[in-house]
């Protein structure tokens, strides 16, 4: 019996090594795709190019991804998940700091830190940002459904952060989804511009986004209230 147990452990070892090898191959392919898509564009890059750059066979590519489109979407999903987690964690950190200070008027300075983190994350994934800038978001009908899904995840992350702010009673309730839909394209555009300019205008970008986020929703609510009173 003991001999059989030892034998079964030995039999499982090749499977574990195969899974590790498959995961490494997948990561090599994603790394190659980031570089090639950024440099040559999605349509200018072939599956053969991706496999060669990753140092694997085309067969190995197809054992990990069904198509070139799948690896493109996998890359975008990966960065989207990272940003979603970062936005949520940072929003909660900012709220906790504001609660400790007991001063809701300090949020402008506190907003600068999460915006800087967002831009740092974009710069860290420069290849992906270049892909987005080169290929565009939703320009190709082939990707439209997947891009729409990714876009909604960005909106959901921004809305959740704004909801946390409202629930902490640092602002009156307002349409956080509508504000999130205005905020997301502006943030992506500024992140692309920050990467394009190599961070040369980072302080201006951070100040602009913080000012618009800090005062934009508040000003909008005030105007809505005034419009409501004027109609009465």
pLDDT digits (tens, 9 = 90+) for 106-128: 566 777 888 888 898 888 877 77
Q: According to the model, what pLDDT value does residue 142 have?
A: 65
CA-based max dimension of the chain: 88
* 40: containing domain: 2-64
**pTM for this entry:** 0.70
Q: Which residues contact 14 (CB under 8 A, 6 or more apart)?
A: none
**Closest-CA residue to 182 (of 173, 194, 171, 174):** 174
Sign of CA dihedral 76, 79, 82, 84: negative
Q: According to the model, what pLDDT value does residue 57 have?
A: 93
What is the Rg, in whole angstroms, of the alpha carbon atoms belonging to the chain?
Answer: 23
Q: Of 78-92, 114-128, 181-195, which one has max mean pLDDT?
A: 181-195
Q: Which residues contact 138 (CB under 8 A, 6 or more apart)?
A: 144, 147, 148, 151
Contact 168, 99 (CB under 8 A): yes
Q: According to the model, what pLDDT value does residue 88 have?
A: 83
Count Cβ neighbours within 10 Å for each residue of 160-187 and write b for 16 or more, e otherwise. Answer: bbbebbeebebbeeeebeebbbebbeeb
Whether residues 15 and 89 fall in one domain = no
In the three-class reduction of DSSP (H, G, I as helix; E, B as strand; rest coil), residue 186 is classed as helix
Whether residues 20 and 134 fall in one domain = no
Whether residues 49 and 94 fall in one domain = no
Looking at residue 26, which CATH number applies to its domain?
Answer: 1.10.10.60
Round to whole Å and give the CA distance between 5 and 27: 33
| Residue 32 pLDDT greater than 50, yes or no | yes
Whether residues 13 and 95 fall in one domain = no
User: 24-33, 38-47, 94-103: which has the minimum mean pLDDT?
Assistant: 94-103
Whether residues 53 and 80 fall in one domain = no
Share of the chain above pLDDT 90, in %: 20
Whether residues 87 and 184 fall in one domain = yes
Class of residue 226 by CB neighbours under 10 A (exposed 0-12, middle 13-18, buried 19+) = exposed
Contact 138, 147 (CB under 8 A): yes
Round to whole Å and give the CA distance between 58 and 29: 11
Whether residues 80 and 34 fall in one domain = no
Whether residues 44 and 92 fall in one domain = no
Whether residues 90 and 133 fall in one domain = yes
User: 63-72, 129-138, 162-171: which has the minimum mean pLDDT?
Assistant: 129-138
Contact 187, 118 (CB under 8 A): yes
| Residue 13 pLDDT greater than 80, yes or no | no
- Domain end residue (candidates: 24, 46, 64): 64
Looking at residue 88, which CATH number applies to its domain?
Answer: 1.10.357
| Residue 201 pLDDT greater than 60, yes or no | yes
| Total number of domains constituting the chain | 2
Class of residue 53 by CB neighbours under 10 A (exposed 0-12, middle 13-18, buried 19+) = middle
Q: According to the model, what pLDDT value does residue 220 have?
A: 64
Whether residues 9 and 90 fall in one domain = no
Residue 181 is encoded by which pair of tokens?
């839909």
Whether residues 73 and 60 fall in one domain = no
Whether residues 50 and 93 fall in one domain = no
């Amino acid at each position: 019996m003991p001999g059989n147990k030892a034998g079964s452990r030995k039999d499982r070892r090749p499977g574990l090594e195969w899974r590790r090898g498959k995961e490494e191959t997948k990561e090599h392919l994603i790394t190659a795709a980031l570089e090639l898509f950024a440099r040559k564009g999605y349509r200018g890059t072939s599956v053969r190019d991706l496999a060669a750059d990753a140092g694997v066979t085309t067969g190995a590519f197809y054992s990990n991804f069904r198509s070139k489109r799948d690896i493109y979407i996998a890359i975008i999903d990966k960065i989207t998940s990272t940003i979603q987690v970062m936005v949520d964690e940072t929003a909660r950190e900012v709220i906790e700091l504001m609660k400790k200070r007991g001063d809701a008027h300090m949020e402008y300075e506190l907003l600068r830190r999460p915006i800087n983190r967002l831009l740092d994350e974009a710069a860290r994934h420069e290849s992906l940002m270049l892909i987005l800038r080169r290929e565009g978001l939703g320009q190709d009908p082939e990707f439209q459904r997947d891009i729409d899904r990714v876009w909604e995840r960005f909106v959901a992350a921004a809305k959740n952060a704004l909801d946390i702010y409202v629930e902490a009673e640092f602002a009156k309730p307002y349409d956080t989804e509508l504000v999130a839909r205005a905020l997301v394209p502006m943030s992506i555009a500024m992140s692309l511009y920050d990467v394009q300019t190599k961070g040369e205008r980072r302080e201006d970008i951070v100040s602009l986004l913080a000012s618009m986020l800090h005062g934009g929703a508040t000003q909008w609510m005030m105007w809505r209230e005034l419009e409501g009173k004027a109609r009465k």
